[in-house]
Structure 1
Amino acid sequence: MELKKNPKADLTKNSGLYFVIGLALVLFVTWRGIEWKQYDKTEYDIQALNVDDDLDEEIPITELKAPPPPPPPPAAPEVIEVVEDEEEVEETVIESTETNQDEVIVEVEDVEVVEEEEDVDVPFAVIEDVPVFPGCENAKNKRDCFNKQMQKHIRKNFRYPEIAQELGIQGRVSVLFTIDKDGSITNIRMRGPDKNLEAEALRIIKKLPKMTPGRQRGRAVRVPFSIPITFKLQ
């Protein structure tokens, strides 16, 4: 005889549903346990939170001092003295400058005009009467004689500086000087490659004799003159 099971009596029929419901309940309880927070009870002093006392603190009031008032204007004089205009004023008489026919006109003598001599520098190349070098008084061409005597003077007084020879220094020194209105040599200037050569050129020019000054329109004038002095090692 076979045993027959009642389908309603099958206990495993809804086991899956129950498992899912149980799992959901376990997850919910676990989540709530993790999220659960507990706060400590703290008693607050209500009087300590009262801020009315702080607001009632007295704040000192700063008084602003007003600037001092301006000084009063000076008092007007009590009595005003009236001065009578009785003083006599001398009138200024303006004399007429117009001439009268009865007046005698005095003739003024001729006034001599004195020409002031101006210091003029006339270059040696254009001056009318060149300065005369001593020894050229009777020369026909005093300009050429002047140049020859200058060269002769330089050769006669030339001396090569020893220090320039030792250092092998050579070159040309340009010399410019002025023959003044009294024939003296003034305003000597040099330009060269070395100070020792310039010093020697200055020494030579200072030995020039006094000359007869140059003349322009019959007047003695200053005459600038330039000449090169060459220093060359043998």
Structure 2
Amino acid sequence: MEIKKNPKSNLENYSKLFVQLGLVLALLITYVSIEYKTYDKTYEGLGSAEMAEDVEDETLEIQIETPPPPQNTPPPPAPEKIEVVEDEEEVEETIIESTETDETEAVEVEEIVEVEEEEEVVEDVPFNIIEDVPVFPGCKGSKAQKKACLNKKMQKHVQRYFDAELANELGLSPGKKRIYLIFKIGKTGNIEDINARAPHPRLKKEAIRIAKKLPKMLPGKQRGRPVRVGYTLPITFNVE
């Protein structure tokens, strides 16, 4: 059998009312505490104390003591005897003599001998710049004429002694061929330092043989002195 409660005795029905009452009470307490006034307490008969008069200025005095004046100390006693020590080594004094000469003194001057510088002469001179060209036998006239005559005589000499059939026997390819015969006409007029460039060794030998057949000439001169003159003789021929 269940026991039934009276609805009036159930406190849950009054929960909202209790909350509202609590809020009203809290607001009331807060308001009262804000409006509550307090007053400062006053003490009579004590008087006002002035701290500035009670505190005395304390000054710190520093005394600086000046040092006493120094006493006059007596000088050290002088030695009883003074010994003189002589130097064992003698130092030679150097005397600097004056280099100035008096007007009355005669000054000797060595004679200056002028040496003539020998003019350097070049031993080998190219044929194109030689002052006096070598003279081929039979050539006469001016320097230009002697030069042209020498070149003409050289060509005739090659045409006379060169073996033209040799070039065809060597089996060279057809066409124009050239040999360069190089030699020097010495200070005595003889042919020296013979060399040649040719397309075949036998042609080179043939060119040297021709050069050896050249006659003796009058040597070329540079600044009046005989010199060796370099000469290049081209030999041109056709191979059929």
TM-score of the superposed pair, with normalisation by structure 1: 0.51
Tell me whether 1:131 sits opposite 2:137 in the alignment.
Answer: no
1:191 to 164, 185, 197: 197
1:216 corresponds to: 222
Spell out structure 1 runs of 4+ moving beyond 4 A.
93-99
Tell me whether 1:182 sits opposite 2:188 in the alignment.
Answer: yes
Tell me whether 1:169 sits opposite 2:175 in the alignment.
Answer: no
Tell me whether 1:117 sits opposite 2:123 in the alignment.
Answer: no
Contact 1:161/1:200 (<8 A) preserved: no
1:157 corresponds to: 161
Q: How many angstroms does 1:160 deviate by?
A: 3.9
Which deviates more, 169-178 or 115-124? 115-124
Contact 2:133/2:220 (<8 A) preserved: yes
Tell me whether 1:147 sits opposite 2:151 in the alignment.
Answer: yes
Q: How many angstroms does 1:108 deviate by?
A: 1.0
Contact 2:190/2:216 (<8 A) preserved: yes
2:20 corresponds to: none
Counting aligned pairs with the same residue, the percent is 49
Deviations 1:109-162 (A, max 9, x none): 5323240533343322222221111111x2341111111111121122222464
Contact 2:124/2:227 (<8 A) preserved: yes
TM-score of the superposed pair, with normalisation by structure 2: 0.50
Partners of 1:167 and 1:94 in 2: how far apart?
95
Partners of 2:156 and 2:119 in 1: how far apart?
38
Q: Looking at CA atoms only, which structure, 1 or 2, has the larger radius of gyration?
A: 2
2:211 corresponds to: 205
Residues 118 and 218 (structure 1 numbering): CA distance in 2 closer, same or farther, change over 3 Å? closer
Partners of 1:176 and 1:95 in 2: how far apart?
72
Q: How many angstroms does 1:209 deviate by?
A: 1.6
Which deviates more, 109-118 or 215-224? 109-118
Query: Which residues of structure 2 form unaligned runs of 5+?
Result: 1-87
Query: Which residues of structure 1 form unaligned runs of 5+?
Result: 1-85
Partners of 1:106 and 1:182 in 2: how far apart?
48
Q: How many angstroms does 1:97 deviate by?
A: 10
Contact 1:120/1:222 (<8 A) preserved: yes
Contact 2:179/2:197 (<8 A) preserved: yes
Alignment of 1:58-97 (within 5 A): none
Partners of 1:144 and 1:157 in 2: how far apart?
21
Contact 1:127/1:216 (<8 A) preserved: yes
